[in-house]
Each structure stands twice: as structure tokens, then as C-alpha cells.
Amino acid sequence: PFLLNVLQHQSFTDAAVDTYFIDEHPELFAFKPSQNRAQKLLAYLGEVQVNGATTPLATSLKPAHVVPPVPHVRADQEPVTRSRPPVGLHSVLVNEGAEAFAKAVRRKKGCMITDTTFRDAHQSLLATRVRTYDMAKISPFVSSAFPHLFSMENWGGATFDVSMRFLHECPWERLETLRKLIPNIPFQCLLRGANAMGYSNYPDNVINKFAELAVKSGMDIFRVFDSLNYLPNLLVGMEAVGRAGGVVEAAIAYTGDVSDSTRTQYNLQYYMDLAEQLVKAQCHILCIKDMAGVLKPAAAKLLITALRDKYPDMPIHVHSHDTAGAAVASMVECAKAGADIVDAAVDSMSGMTSQPSMGAIVASLQGTNFETGLNLDAISQYSAYWESARQLYAPFECATTMKSGNADVYKHEIPGGQYTNLQFQAFSLGLGDKFDEVKRMYREANLALGDIIKVTPSSKIVGDLAQFMVQNNLTRETLVDRADELSFPKSVVEFMQGHVGQPPYGFPEPLRTKVLRGKPKIDGRSGAQLPALDFDKVKVELEEKHGRKLREVDVMSSAMFPRVFDDFEQFRQRFGPVDKLPTRVFFSGLDIAEECDVEIETENEIFSVFFDLNGQMRSIFVQDRE
């Protein structure tokens, strides 16, 4: 500690040090108490060794003994560093702002790709368990090999909650780490409108502050959606992002089938009307968010062509899932119909409930007017890395139960992330052969609720009701008949009260009245009634509780998930920065006689550098001046 204090002293760095330097500066001896991080990590490893994983492993499969191959960055793809100005779209955003960025996107020829590997792909395939450690290792390669990506989706959705709850990582540190490693590609996150990173409305000042902190921490583009496409909820998120200086990507959650004239509720007119409202509310980008993967090629062509014709200047971005296996075809149709950007996951993290394959889309668009600018050889190396890294997450692998795509999705419309959860639950209860029944009931539950849009959190309400119907042996008809005597799941009651928002075609009657039995109803947006959060007060209370100074972002984590944050904080104080452990070691501990290197950064970004000098180990301390 003494050496570190000297190194940071102004007189020392100015080389103005004489023989009295130490005598005249008693503060050099004011040592910060050691955080004992290495010792804490040993305690963690001991804990895992004796008591097993601190993160419950979902299956009996173990993380594989693999070292994912990090491809070399080629000479013509040198790593982009902060000292060299970043190239590409990110610099337009940083230098000229969100509106100029949107214009630049529209002017670009071809079709750009958003890479979802760091977010939705693992949310949909690996229960959101991919750790910063494995993302960070491949990030310099991504930064160098794919400067033409529109964006990297690496934050939001379930990642915020899961990283603290199960991985004992701070989501803000993840964002900051990736930002340093990928300075040139815009970052994208999924924002659940007035629910931000959570499952229900927060006070408006929390949403505003959240967007501000996210932009400060390195986030660029916010895909804002609402689980019922309820405009007032969407507007809260959009306004917060706009005020914070982020790119507002307003998302229309897509359901049904616009190419099927018998499906009248979510027809082309419905989507065009909502798009009009979002454009009027001054979004920078319009997104079609097909969370279940039900946008068939013909529907994609119809919808995107109509949007392109009506809004020639508006960038259009399409998100889909490959649950049935048709998403590559749909994304190609979107590109041809005028979409500026489509989402893909790297090949080895694509398919089934994840996004369609990046390599397949890039190859399909090669030689057309819709080239992506991405290099297939580089994609192949990137894919090889994840093919290996994915084996570290074997305990969470959806492929233990899911072997292929399935076109049933056009009937049940279960979102990608939820599908594997429900399937896994059915299998773990020994009801694997009943999964068909669960899917069938999900459809019935949705229709009983009035055929609503299904995505977090409305998808959970439908899932809860489906499970309830299976347990109580109910059909859609008997559910309504017996509704005044049944004890409904809390999520269903709150939905009927209006806590989630107002469904576009209203609440189902007489079911609503029978479920509510006089309970109060909310007519507008539930968040509008919530009192503002006093952040200063919360900070003081949290610092007292946890006995350390907290950052604004920590207070925000607590505002989103108070219990989860407290547990995370206590865990970290006990076991240190477990996010620095390699993934297999984190999940299953060390093998007998195994060695493992762990890099723990020192607090003030002072790095210890080790040299082998004529066979002797020497170390020096160097301050990172970047």
C-alpha cells in the first residue's frame, strides 16, 4: 500500500521529490484497509468444494473441461483502442447525436446486423447464465473483426436480474467492462418500457434516472417495448431514453399473423396505427419485435413493405426468434422489403428459441443489394469460440430437452425465453410427455385472457394461468364458468386490475368481473400513481446496511431489485469478485491439484506486471493512464 500511495502522489508523478518527501507527507502512510479479495475467493472455492455450486445447476450435466479458442486478431484487424479513434457508426452517434445517427443508418446501403449473442441468444438457450468473463475474452476480437455490425445487444431483458441473482456479478460492471473492450460498435439493450429491467412499473423518476445512468455507463441504443403494446408505458421509456441522450428504438411487439386475413385482431392496420403513434412520439428507429418467432416470410414482406413505404426516412429494425426454423427466411424477406437492420446470433448460439444464424443470413444476402459487410471467415472463428464456451454452460442447456425447431409456435405463440423455461419445468416434474398439453393450455389461457400480446411480463401471466388450468383440470369454458369461485394466481388478478397496462382490445368479460370480485381497477398507467423514489435517502440507508460507500448505479440496482441487490452485496462482501473466476471453476470449483489464474484488478487501476529477468521473477507496479 505504501508504494501505491507514493506512485499516486502528485509530487512523485511530477518528479518533484526530494529526500524529505516521505517525512513531509504522513498521508503516504494512510493505508486503505486491504479488501482481502484473494482470501475471499479462496473462501468461495472452499465453499463450492464442500457444499457444491452456489448457483443451482439446473441439470446434472457438468460444465465441460474446455478452453474456448480465442481467435487471433489479424494484422488488418488490429484491436481498436481508446487511443485510436473508433470507426463506424458509434463515432457518428458520439460526435453528432442520435438524430444524425438515425440518418446515417438510413443512408447506409445493404442490411446491417445486430449481434444478440451476448444477450437474447443466451437468455433463450442457456437461461441467461453467460458470464462477463467469457464475453470479455472474445470482445477484442468482436471489436476488430465486426466493425460493420449495427450493434451488439449485450444488456437488458433478464440479464440485469440474473447477473446479480445467479452469477453474483454487477450488471453495470459488465457494461463498463464491455464498453472498454468494444469502443467502436454501438451497444444495444432491451428496456421493458415503464418496467425498465423489472417485471412491473417503477416510479417515473426511477425510469429517467435508469436511462441516464445506462447512457453514462456506455449504453447507446434502447429497444423500448411494452408487454401489451400499451402506449403510455412505452412513452415513459422512450422519453427517459431521449432525455438521457440515448437512441430511442421504439418496439412494436408482434403477435398473430398479418398474412392471415382470418386473424383480425392483430392485422396490418393495428401495426400501422401503433407505428404512427411511435413515429409521432419521435422515436429514432422503429422496431418489429417478434419475441416468439411467429413472423412468417410472407407476413414479414407485407408488414415491412408497408412500413417502408409509409416512413421512407425511418430506420427499421427487425427482431425474431427461430423457434419454428423459419427466421432466416423471414429476415431475408425483411431485408428485401427495406429493413435497415435484422437481429442474428452467431451460428453456434443461434437457432431454435434463439435468433436465426448470423452466418446463414450473411451468406444468404451475399451478392445481393442487401450485403451485411460481415466476413464469413471471421464469423466462423467467432462461432468456434462460442461452440466451445457454450459447453461451459452445459447445466443450463435448453438442448437437454429441446432437440429441434417446432412449428407449433404459430399456435401457442410462447416467447423464445419462456418456451425453454416451460419445457424444462415440465421435464423436471417428470411431465415431459405433458409438454404438448402445457403448450395447448398456454394457447387456451391466452384466448381466455382476450388474445393478448405475450412477452415479459404478460407472457408470465399467460403461463401462470395455463399452469393453473392444467392443475385444476379446466378448459377455457369451465374456467369462465367457475371463475367466481376459483382462487386465481396473483399475477392474473393483478393483470385484471390493470397493473400491467390496458390490452389493446380491452379486458375479457365476464372473466374480469368474476376474477376481480370488486377489487379496485386501474384505468391508466399504474406507474403514474407511484410516488417518486428518494434516491438520497435510499443511498444513506443502503450504505448503512452494507457498511460501504455505494455508487449511484448500486442504488439503481437496489431500486430495481431490492432483495436481489442486498443478497448480491452480502455475497460479494463474503466471497469477493467471483466474476473473475473462470466459468467452470465458478460453477463447479477446482479439480484436485488443478491450478487457476485469477486476475484481480487493484482499486486504482494500478497493475502489477511480472517479468522473468534472467530466470528470476520481478514485479513492478504500473498505473493505467488510459
Site string for ligand 3PY, 371-410 (x = CB under 6 A): ----------------------------------------
| Closer residue to Zn ion (CB): 356 or 359 | 356
Residue 292 vs 346, nearer CB to ligand 3PY:
292
Question: Given the rule CB under 5 A, which of 112-120, 303-311, 478-486, 507-515 is the region that contacts Zn ion?
Answer: 112-120
Radius of gyration of the CA atoms of the chain, in A: 26
Q: Is there binding between residue 291 and ligand 3PY (CB under 6 A)? A: yes
Q: Which helix (H) or strand (E) holds 318?
A: strand 316-319
120 or 554, CB closer to ligand 3PY? 120
**Nearest distance, CB of residue 321 and Zn ion, angstroms:** 6
Interacting residues with ligand 3PY between 151 and 180 (CB under 6 A):
157-158
Sign, CA torsion 392/396/402/404:
negative
Q: Which residues in 20-150 belong to E strands, given as ranges? A: 112-115
Interface with ligand 3PY, residue 190, by CB under 6 A: yes
Alpha helices in 223-281 (DSSP H): 231-244, 268-280
d(CA 409, CA 406): 7
Residue with nearest beta carbon to Zn ion: 120
190 binds, among ligand 3PY, Zn ion, none (CB under 5 to 8 A by kind): ligand 3PY
Q: Phi/psi of residue 608, each to 5°?
A: -90, 130
What Cα–Cα distance (Å) separates residue 96 from each residue in 87, 105, 149, 185, 291? 14, 13, 19, 15, 32
- Going from the C-alpha of 389 to that of each of 28, 64, 65, the distances in angstroms are 45, 9, 10
Residue 422 interacting entry, from Zn ion, ligand 3PY, none, C-beta within 5 to 8 Å by type: none
Q: Show the DSSP H helices in 366-414 as ranges.
A: 376-389, 409-412
> Amino acid letter at 437?
E
120 or 239, CB closer to Zn ion? 120
Distance CA 588, CA 3 (A): 37
Q: How far is the CB of 120 from Zn ion (least distance, A)?
A: 4
Q: Which is nearer to ligand 3PY, 381 or 446 (CB)?
A: 446
Distance CA 313, CA 331 (A): 20
Q: Which of 417, 508, 527, 577 binds ligand 3PY (CB under 6 A)?
A: 417
CB of 299 to Zn ion, least distance (A): 17
Nearer to ligand 3PY, 237 or 508 (CB): 237
H or E segment and range at residue 50: helix 37-51
Closest separation in Å from C-beta 223 to Zn ion: 9
What's the rounded Cα separation, in Å, for the pair 102 and 140?
26
158 binds, among ligand 3PY, Zn ion, none (CB under 5 to 8 A by kind): ligand 3PY
Cα–Cα distance for residue pair 263/451, rounded to 1 Å = 11
Nearer to ligand 3PY, 147 or 193 (CB): 193
Residue given cell 386475413 in the structure block:
261
Q: Which of 192, 296, 390, 525 binds ligand 3PY (CB under 6 A)?
A: 192
Cα(595)–Cα(41) distance, integer angstroms: 14
288 binds ligand 3PY (CB under 6 A): no
Closer residue to ligand 3PY in complex, CB, 131/319? 319
Considering only residues 105, 119, 120, 160, which one is a binding residue for Zn ion as defined by CB under 5 A? 120
Spell out, one character per residue from 106 to 125, where the chain touches ligand 3PY: x when CB under 6 A holds, - when not: --------------x--x--
- Please report, for residues 355, 549, 555, 557, the alpha-carbon distance to residue 568 in angstroms, rounded to integers and kept in the order given: 30, 15, 13, 10
Q: Quick check: 455 binds ligand 3PY (CB under 6 A)? A: yes
- Specify the residue, 415 or 582, whose C-beta has the smaller distance to ligand 3PY: 415
Instruction: Verify binding: residue 293, ligand 3PY, rule CB under 6 A.
Output: no
Residues 6 or more apart in contact with residue 487 via CB below 8 angstroms: none
> Residue 330 or residue 456: which is nearer to ligand 3PY going by CB?
456
Binding status of residue 234 toward ligand 3PY by CB under 6 A: no
Is the Cβ–Cβ distance between 340 and 106 less than 8 Å? yes
Identified binder of ligand 3PY from the candidate list 355, 456, 458, 558, rule CB under 6 A:
456
Burial of 12 (0-12, 13-18, 19+ CB in 10 A): middle
What are the grid coordinates assigned to 37, written together? 479479495
Task: Give contact residues for ligand 3PY (rule: CB under 6 A).
Answer: 120, 123, 157-158, 190, 192, 291, 415, 417, 455-456
Task: Give contact residues for Zn ion (rule: CB under 5 A).
Answer: 120, 291
